[in-house]
Amino acid sequence: MTRTWRTAAEAPDAPVSAYFSAANWGKTSQVLDLRTDAGRAALHGLAAGADIVLASYKPGDAEKLGADYVTLSTLNPQLLYGAITGYGPAHARAGYDAVLQAETGFMHLNAAGPGQPPQKMPVALIDLLTAHHLKEALLLALYQRERTGRGALLEVSLHDSALASLANQGTSWLVTGHEPQPMGSGHPSIVPYGTVYTAADGTRLLLAVGSDGQFRQLCAVLERSAWAADARFSTNPARVAHRPELEELLRQRIEELSGAELLAELEKRAVPAGAVRAVGEALSQPAARAMLLPPTAGFPHPGLRTVAFRSSTWPVAAALPGPPALGNDSPPGPDFA
């Protein structure tokens, strides 16, 4: 479906949407009708020679189509089968990123502040986190297979991946029983961390001060060293307790200064801070060049790498074919439309 999900800025007749291209560079596309014998035979032929099969069916659907782990592992005992569901194999309910964001606390926490409406995150973060959880499972299973020669069924759900990713917000409730409250971009345990300020030149910048030493350096840059000696602000617990007072002082001082000069001085002093950039600004930075994929003959637009690591011992190839047209690599015949 993402092939047809377009923004208003995209051409309505574009064969590949920007959304689809985000996840499908370097892939081939075969369309198989698994309701037919020929379609299932084609799938089984692919699975017989595959290292990994990924499936995203509601529980029970893969079995109806002959695409389940039991069927495919009979053909290929070394097969690693990664299964993604919404809520686990015992629940037939389909999973959707936005729904899971609502149900697992993320939308509540992402509100602009207490009493403000819950907000969905602007990317399908639960989908992405689930993919990374499955990737970790598959890497472990590959390592195990090297030692045992056996394949495995790896199952992950959007629901469990979301809960596992609540991190400190989840354990805060488990440890204290206190319901974490939405704080906009602020941090519940560290101040000033995450709050956005506006400088005199209109630059919006974020501070991520994680230690008392960094706070002292911030005060020195702002020419407000007395703040670091103030009992209300000298330690992080004190700053958390007096968050509103400190954030108002910071707001007033920063709006008197040049954002560019302030950011440069903070970097010299090793105080974590950064300018708030739009997506286009971020992708236009020199540091972003290594993350871009060049246009191809079939897709005349740059792509965005989804693999961010580098290796000193082997290259991570950047030259990939563009996202495929639907069914571009299907075998000929009526069962491969």
Q: For 193-276, which CATH superfamily applies?
A: formyl-coa transferase, domain 3 (3.30.1540.10)
Q: In this structure, what DSSP letter does residue 218 have? A: H
Model pLDDT, residue 100:
98
User: Which of these, 45, 65, 59, lies nearest to 92 by C-alpha position?
Assistant: 59
Reported as a single tens digit per residue, the pLDDT across 208-262 is 999 999 999 999 999 999 999 999 999 999 999 999 999 999 999 999 999 999 9
Reported as a single tens digit per residue, the pLDDT across 303-329 is 888 888 888 887 766 577 888 888 887
Query: 202: pLDDT confidence band, cut at 50, 70 and 90?
Result: very high
Annotated active-site residue 33? The verdict is no
pTM for the structure as a whole? 0.87
Model pLDDT, residue 305:
84
Write the CB contacts of 88 (distance below 8 Å, at least 6 apart in sequence): 59, 155, 157, 159, 160
Please give the CATH number for the structural domain made up of 31-168: 3.40.50.10540
Question: Tokens 């560290």 map to which residue?
Answer: 190
Dihedral sign for Cα 164, 170, 176, 178, please: negative
Residue 157: its H or E element: strand 152-157
Cβ contact 239:191 at 8 Å: yes
Among 10-24, 94-108, 244-258, whose mean pLDDT is lowest? 10-24
Structure tokens at 260: 């560019």
Domain ranges of the chain: 31-168, 193-276
User: Which long-range contacts link 264-271 to residues 24+ away (Cβ below 8 Å)?
Assistant: 265/221, 266/217, 266/218, 266/221, 269/217, 269/218, 269/220, 269/221, 270/214, 270/217, 271/207, 271/209, 271/214, 271/217, 271/218, 271/221
Q: At what angle do helices 212-221 and 259-268 cross, to 10 degrees?
A: 140
Residue 235: its H or E element: none
Distance CA 30, CA 142 (A): 25
Query: 330: pLDDT confidence band, cut at 50, 70 and 90?
Result: confident
User: Which of these, 237, 188, 194, lies nearest to 212 by C-alpha position?
Assistant: 237
Residue 268: Cβ within 10 Å count = 10
Q: What percent of the chain has pLDDT over 90?
A: 76
User: Considering 97, 127, 329, 335, which one is annotated as catalytic?
Assistant: 127
